[in-house]
Copies of this chain bind each other. A is one copy, B any other.
């Protein structure tokens, strides 16, 4: 009774990240009329290892592939989409209607990913009661009430760093259990709350230090001439 259902639980974070890319590729293939795809093919397209691809796919779909044919694209798409919860849409609120907040509010693609922003909040009286991307901006003191009434679990934080923690706390008090944080600070929350950080500094740290390493390497290569691997 325990081992009956495949180990849906054991999927790595990294694998989870790859799923949307698989999905994207599969959809492109479907568009162009293809109906079967091998793990090797996906791996090549994504610059990944074929075994890894098979493992990832095995984690989300019970239906396996066939030798020399591969996997059924249509079925894979369905499996991944349902795994990622693109079918049942979750409501979310957003706090901080600045540049970024506005961009997110105006973005129409979230529903494809199973997310719908239903309301925004801000302290600035000039933006309160305005309409951005079809969503009304409410004053902060309405947050708790609205979250509770609409039974909302997801909060998006797009306020300045200095205000992020207090907004976070307010969200948690109001029943939010998953936070998508765009402020460049670590949020302290109790263990029941999920925080996902989207941090420009974090990304740039990776990008620019890789770049620096690359540029250094280039410079050194002129003199050192390493043998290629």
Total contacting residues, chain A, CB less than 8 A: 59
List chain B residues, Cβ under 8 A from A24.
161, 184-186, 201
In the assembled complex, which residues on chain B have CB atoms less than 8 Å from the CB atom of A9?
213
Question: A196, B185: Cβ atoms under 8 Å?
Answer: no
Q: Is the interface of A mostly helix, strand, loop or mixed?
A: helix
What are 30 residue pairs bridging A and B, where the CB atoms are less than 8 Å apart in the complex? A13-B206, A16-B205, A17-B205, A17-B206, A21-B184, A21-B186, A21-B202, A24-B185, A24-B186, A25-B186, A47-B188, A84-B205, A84-B208, A85-B208, A85-B212, A100-B103, A100-B107, A103-B103, A107-B200, A109-B200, A113-B205, A114-B204, A154-B208, A178-B207, A180-B203, A194-B210, A194-B214, A196-B210, A198-B198, A198-B203
Contact of A115 among B107, B113, B177, B208 (CB under 8 A): B208
Whether A77 is near chain B, meaning CB under 8 Å from some CB there, is no
How many copies of this chain? 2
**Which listed residue (B83, B84, B203) contacts A196, Cβ 8 A?**
B203
